[in-house]
Amino acid sequence: MTRIKICGITRSEDALACAQAGADAIGLVFYPPSPRHVVAAQAAEIARALPPFVTTVGLFVNPAAEQVEAVLNKVHLDVLQFHGDESPEFCAGFGVPYLKAIRVKAGVDLVQCAIRYQKAQGLLLDAYVEGTPGGTGQSFDWELIPAELSLPVILSGGLEPANVVDAIRRVRPWAVDVSSGVEESKGIKDVAKIAAFIEGVRKGCKPQGV
Ligand SMILES: O=C(O)c1ccccc1N[C@@H]1O[C@H](COP(=O)(O)O)[C@@H](O)[C@H]1O
């Protein structure tokens, strides 16, 4: 079954709703310009509210190493997600597994990206939108994803209940990641959309016609 990460959680009740609906991971955004930004104390409270076996992912965009260390000292994060121009050495420097986000547009060599970030747990593929590092609700052309990559693919960018079945059937990613598509407003999740999204993932994983 394709794993599910729901990102941009700002409230403990939303984190719990994700877990209860069957999400495998939640994402906490440590990027101050984002409308989904959380401070460390808030993130620690959200992480503590989670039941066992739900992974917490911390998202950063071109952070200073001290910023990541400061968050790690206060919040239990299982995985780091780097969404900027961080080098492989920087990403690997915290002793915590990481995902590298790549903003996909025509001409991006994803095979080379997977080789460059070979120590990552996976490549998270998001839409390239000029001037915005992510969380845009925009999707990209999934045909740009090579059939074979040396890292697991986490598909993101504009996923929502209405397109996730097709996304899974076409891309067959290791995991999907959604933020805008399950929101009621920026940073506030919609429980019905989360349930519909997860149902869509399950449907997309089944053989067609079942
Ligand atoms: O969520 C944000 O505000 C954000 C800010 C900066 C970088 C990434 C961000 N979110 C991530 O973007 C992708 C796609 O999100 P969406 O579903 O299209 O809204 C996802 O990985 C979010 O975690």
pLDDT tens digits for 47-92? 999 999 999 999 999 999 999 999 999 999 999 999 999 999 999 9
Counted domains in the chain: 1
- CA–centroid distance, 183 to ligand 1, in Å, is 12
For residue 177, being part of any structural domain is answered with yes
What would the pLDDT profile of 35-50 be if each residue is shown by its tens digit?
999 999 999 999 999 9
Q: Which atom belonging to ligand 1 lies closest to the Cα atom of 124?
A: 21
Whether the CB of 27 sits within 6 Å of ligand 1:
yes
In sequence order, the 6+-apart residues with CB closer than 8 A to the CB of 185 are: none
Q: Whose CA is nearest to atom 13 of ligand 1?
A: 135
- 8 Cβ inside 6 Å of ligand 1: yes
Residues 6+ apart with CB under 8 A from 156: 7, 101, 124, 125, 126, 134, 176, 177, 178, 179
CATH number at residue 48: 3.20.20.70
Q: Is 126 a catalytic residue?
A: yes
Residue 7 domain-assigned (yes or no): yes
Domain that holds residue 169: 3-205
The answer as to whether 102 is a domain residue is: yes
In a domain, 210, yes or no: no
Between helix 40-49 and helix 12-21 the angle, nearest 10°, is 40
- Judge whether 157 and 142 are in contact, CB under 8 Å: no
Q: Which two tokens stand for residue 67?
A: 């910023």
Q: Is the CB of 122 under 6 A from ligand 1?
A: no
Instruction: Provide the percentage of residues in the chain whose pLDDT is more than 70.
Output: 100
Distance 165 CA to ligand 1 centre (A): 20
Instruction: Specify the DSSP element, H or E, that contains 193.
Output: helix 191-205
Check pocket membership of 161 for ligand 1, CB cut-off 6 A.
Answer: no
Q: Whose CA is nearest to atom 15 of ligand 1?
A: 135
